[in-house]
Structure 1
Amino acid sequence: MEIAENITWTEELERLDVLLSQGQFELLLPGERYGGGEKEIWLVYLMNDAAESFLVFHDAELTGTYQKEYEGEIDAALEKDGEQYVLIVRQKETVCTLFFSRLSLEVHLFDYGKTGHFWVDGYEYLRQIEFRIAILRDKLEYLGEAFCTEEEMRLASLANFPPLNFCCYPAVPDQYLVPSCPWWEATEEAITEMKKLASEAGDKVLLRYLALYEKWQGKLLAKQIAKLLHTSRHAKVVDLLEKKLAREAQNYPKRRFTGEEGTQIRKIQEQAMKRKKILEAEGKRASLLREEPFFYARDSVEYKVHLMIWGTRGKERVVEVETFKISRMQQ
């Protein structure tokens, strides 16, 4: 983004520059965001299960042609006329101009500890952990330490631990995978955090593997450690990590849906809980996870409740997934 000489860089402008350099320019106009004002326009910043955040243009007016579905390179320039900023954005052949008085960051944090997305089959419980660590890492990277607990910052380091990250247990299909770090490269912080978990869980075998991995990193040893994580013998360390993530996530509120939408959501939650009790009466363990739409960026998506039903296959821990869902009406 080109910036005029009479403009002083701020943290918010730096965030804007990062988005534009990535080709990201998804605006929410008045009426498209829950609880928004008439003189504000919102630029989607970080949106995931853990956070919904926006760069807010105050006293805003948009002119020209804005392509909401545009994907590609963006050319942008920021000027200032008196107290008014002028952002000029070119999306290929079209140009739009955004006038505003100031720019601020708006952040809403949510409980992500029991979210579930089942896009890839096999060892789904590990893929849920990989996903939560990934969105936690994104929260730390994009929003900063002020929006994370100290424990979250330590756990986020595991995004750079190949036996557990996208290298071995990607939560999304290959065509949507965007690696956040080099393939098969672990950081010292990630290995240290994993060793702490193994020690706390009393997993001496895993500790020995991690000591080897610390000295001789590579794809082969990473895959061997990944295989350990889905066996019953090493269940304690996996369950401990899941509990730590859930505990930290409880520092934040859950998304609360009201009206007819909230009524329908409560109905499927009750259905899932009823099924969970039946399974538990049969001596089976079942974990209830939710897949929910964003709260502030209102669109047509589905709310789902998933039951992960635990079992074993030889030495391995496996799960079956049952899903309860409703269609969410366009707001």
Structure 2
Amino acid sequence: MKEKLPFKNEYEKLELLLSQGQFELLPEEKETENIRLVYLMNDAVESFLVFCRAKLTGTYLPDFQGELWADLNQDGDQYVLVVHQEDTVCTLFFQDLKLEVHLFDYGRTGHFWVKGYEYLRQLEYRIAILRDKREYLGEEFCSQEERWISSLAEFPPLNFCCYPAVSEKYLVPSCSWWLVSEEALQVMTQLAEEAGDRSLKNWICLYRRFPVKCVAKQIARMLHKVKHAEVVDLISEKLARAASVYERRDFGTGCLKKKRGIKDYQPHRETAEKILRIQEKAEQRKKQLEMSGKQVEVLTEEPFIYAKDSVEYKIHLMVWKQEGKNRKVEIETIDER
């Protein structure tokens, strides 16, 4: 049946979700007959599989975590998806399945879950979510530069092997531990050449000949040295530039600045007011730090637009400092408190 489906690509994505035990439906919207299933959600993309002209029957468990299986059949001009959440069954009747994708600028995103060389962990995180976008959605959703940079997800001196952005209990490796790809080696060689970093380039050549853990760890140590800062900054700049072609998440603050004196002009006025206060506090603090001679980078932590999550809007100020030969940062978080 799969080969005959008019939505073959979308069904393959549905199969992928189900094989991973993922089946999170968004609450049904009154003004539409469609039902959305969360597909890929991160700072770079919010995407859904949309069951068109759909109806849900049976019992759906939104907080279910366990083994599930499903079966798809055709009944006349509609399709029937039966989902078993252990002993509980829900059924989706629908007429079409489509992919809905919203792409966002992720180049200045910040989540500070693990301490120590946070700027490298932020790079690891952004590269990882870019790699997820490429793998889950396809290369047509990535620019040529994004596809090039995403290969660094398979470069252990920079990926989860050495600088994981999340703690070990939440870590889901995107590839085998300590396995480096030839594509990643080529990208890092080009970056070292562009930055004029001959010693790092030599170590990468050695890594190509001996792709072992001890060499990877040595290169990882080099990445946080002042001597090799230009390469790290170059990766960050290229990633930010590649991501900047996408829109920023809109929380209504731009409109709020123009219409601050008008009451109830938008449904989410309270949220927009809160975010605007955080942005103003962050800008004031950034100016204070820069006046004292500090180098400051602004990173933002944002909730999703199209699906509710527990993340609250925050701005992180990454304040650069040098300790001997090492390059480090201090993090100041600006929130509503």
TM-score, structure 1 length as denominator?
0.94
Return the alpha-carbon distance in structure 2 between the equivalents of residues 4 and 210 of structure 1. Answer: 45
Amino acid at match of 2:160: F
Residue number among 244, 249, 269 corresponding to 2:238 in the alignment: 244
Cα deviations by residue, 1:13-38 (Å, 9 ceiling, x for unpaired): 1111111111110000224xxxx842
Cα deviations by residue, 1:106-150 (Å, 9 ceiling, x for unpaired): 000000000000000000000000000000000000011111000
- 5 Å matches for 1:27-176? 27-31=25-29, 37-176=31-170
Return the alpha-carbon distance in structure 1 between the equivalents of residues 12 and 28 of structure 2. Answer: 24
Residue number among 270, 278, 288 corresponding to 1:268 in the alignment: 278
Q: CA deviation at 1:300?
A: 4.2
Q: Tell me the secondary structure at the aligned position of residue 106 of structure 1.
A: strand
Q: Which runs of 4+ in 1 moved over 4 A?
A: 3-9
Q: Tell me the secondary structure at the aligned position of residue 70 of structure 2.
A: strand
**Structure 1 residues without counterparts, runs of 5 or longer:** none
- Pairs aligned (count): 321
Return the alpha-carbon distance in structure 1 between the equivalents of residues 149 and 190 of structure 2. Answer: 11
Q: Which moved more, 1:71-80 or 1:247-256?
A: 71-80
Q: CA deviation at 1:267?
A: 1.0
Amino acid at match of 1:15: K
Q: CA deviation at 1:298?
A: 2.4
Return the alpha-carbon distance in structure 2 between the equivalents of residues 68 and 163 of structure 1. Answer: 38
2:8 maps to: 10
For the structure 1 residues 244 and 7, does the alpha-carbon distance in structure 2 shift closer, same or farther, using more than 3 Å as the test?
A: closer
**Structure 2 residues without counterparts, runs of 5 or longer:** 253-268
Give the conservation status (yes or no) of the 8 Å contact 2:7–2:97: no
Q: CA deviation at 1:176?
A: 0.2
Return the alpha-carbon distance in structure 1 between the equivalents of residues 66 and 165 of structure 2. Answer: 25
Amino acid at match of 2:42: N
- 5 Å matches for 1:283-302? 283-302=293-312
Q: Which moved more, 1:175-184 or 1:295-304?
A: 295-304
Amino acid at match of 1:94: T
2:181 maps to: 187
Return the alpha-carbon distance in structure 2 between the equivalents of residues 158 and 7 of structure 1. Answer: 36
Q: Tell me the secondary structure at the aligned position of residue 90 of structure 1.
A: strand
Q: Tell me the secondary structure at the aligned position of residue 288 of structure 1.
A: strand
1:20 maps to: 18
Q: CA deviation at 1:301?
A: 3.0
1:318 maps to: 328
Give the conservation status (yes or no) of the 8 Å contact 2:7–2:98: no
Q: CA deviation at 1:299?
A: 3.9
Cα deviations by residue, 1:279-325 (Å, 9 ceiling, x for unpaired): 11111001000000000002443111000010011100000000012
2:262 maps to: none
Cα deviations by residue, 1:210-245 (Å, 9 ceiling, x for unpaired): 010010011100000000000100000000000000
Give the conservation status (yes or no) of the 8 Å contact 2:45–2:133: yes
Cα deviations by residue, 1:183-234 (Å, 9 ceiling, x for unpaired): 1110000010001111000000100100100100111000000000001000
Identity, % of aligned positions: 59
Return the alpha-carbon distance in structure 1 between the equivalents of residues 4 and 35 of structure 2. Answer: 24
TM-score, structure 2 length as denominator?
0.93
Q: Tell me the secondary structure at the aligned position of residue 182 of structure 1.
A: coil
For the structure 1 residues 68 and 282, does the alpha-carbon distance in structure 2 shift closer, same or farther, using more than 3 Å as the test?
A: same
Return the alpha-carbon distance in structure 1 between the equivalents of residues 80 and 64 of structure 2. Answer: 21
